Amino acid sequence: MKEQSLCNENWQRVTSRVQDACKKAGRLRTSVHVVGITKYVDISRTLAIYNAGCRALGESRPQAFWDKAAAFASGGIQVQWHLIGHLQRNKVAKTMSYSPVIQTIDSVRLAKEVSRVTASSSTVCEGFIEVNLSQQSERSGVVLESLTDVVAQILVLPGIRICGLMGMASHPETGREPRREFAHLRELRDVLNEKFPEAGGLPELSMGMSGDFEEAILEGSTMVRIGSALFDGLD
């Protein structure tokens, strides 16, 4: 009972903060979707945040995603799953059996494997191209100088619908400003929309986490990935 109560309170607090950020940005609340990141919590707490009202959930590791997706499906619970961690090509087939949004398409090779799997099942995968905003070698994502070429190759693949770009701001200790990086990702998306009008637009920007999502919303984020703020107070 305490677990569910805390998740309810946290969900209301987060959605209120999203509302306030949208108001400050002059945007409608409905223009921003919250994905609850559950990679650090068990199935019980994942279910608690779902029951609090969070209907889109994100996992980082494929194995944890498979386990939770299977558990929810067996209970008849409808969730829009998002994979937000690196996906190895040998894990694509099993991952796609649960039809998640893949937020971390970071190479043409991965995109081709997703395309191969979806083509074999006559399905379509919604995905984001992950961009290495910080340009740090330890971070995943497409490097900036290769972005246009990578996007050009991925957009023509069957079975994948690229919704937009996903990025993560630098760690605060680097001295860089998250808001400036979020603005840069928005600008990159706008340039790509001009270069590839036949793609029908890349409307989504997945950027912003618990510590910086208000700044991301001010710079145009349409999807924020919230983890720790949703489980605050739980042991």
pLDDT tens digits, 40-86: 999 999 999 999 999 999 999 999 999 999 999 999 999 999 999 99
Report pLDDT digits (tens) over 163-212: 999 999 887 666 678 899 999 999 999 999 999 998 788 999 999 999 99
The pLDDT of residue 1 is above 80: no
pLDDT of residue 201: 87
CATH of the domain at 80: 3.20.20.10
Domain annotation covers residue 102: yes
- 203 falls within a domain: yes
User: What pLDDT is stored for residue 173 in this prediction?
Assistant: 62
Mean pLDDT of the chain: 94
Q: Establish if 54 belongs to a structural domain.
A: yes
What one-character DSSP code corresponds to residue 142?
B
- What does the DSSP 8-state code read for residue 170? P
- Residue 35: its pLDDT value, please? 98
**107: domain range?**
2-230
Highest mean pLDDT: which range of 126-140, 168-182, 211-225: 211-225
Grouping H, G, I as helix, E, B as strand and the rest as coil, residue 111 is helix
Does 29 score more than 80 pLDDT? yes
Kindly indicate the confidence band of residue 114, based on its pLDDT and cuts at 50, 70 and 90.
very high
> Does some domain include residue 235?
no
The answer to whether residue 116 sits within a structural domain is yes
For the chain, the domain total comes to 1
Q: Report, as an integer, the average pLDDT of 153-164.
A: 96
Whether 158 is covered by a domain: the verdict is yes
Interatomic CA distance for residues 15 and 34, integer angstroms: 8
Strand ranges in the chain using DSSP code E only, listed in sequence order:
33-37, 56-59, 80-83, 101-105, 125-131, 160-167, 204-206, 223-226
| Average pLDDT of the residues in 221-228 | 98
pLDDT at 172: 65
pLDDT of 175 reads 65
The percentage of residues in the chain with a pLDDT greater than 90, rounded to a whole number, is 88
Is 70 within a domain? Answer: yes
Indicate if the pLDDT at residue 138 is higher than 90. Answer: no
Q: What is the mean pLDDT of residues 143-154?
A: 96
Cβ-based burial of 194 (10 A; exposed 0-12, middle 13-18, buried ≥19) = exposed
Q: What is the pLDDT of residue 128?
A: 98
What's the pLDDT at 135? Answer: 72
Number of C-beta neighbours around residue 116 at 10 A? 15
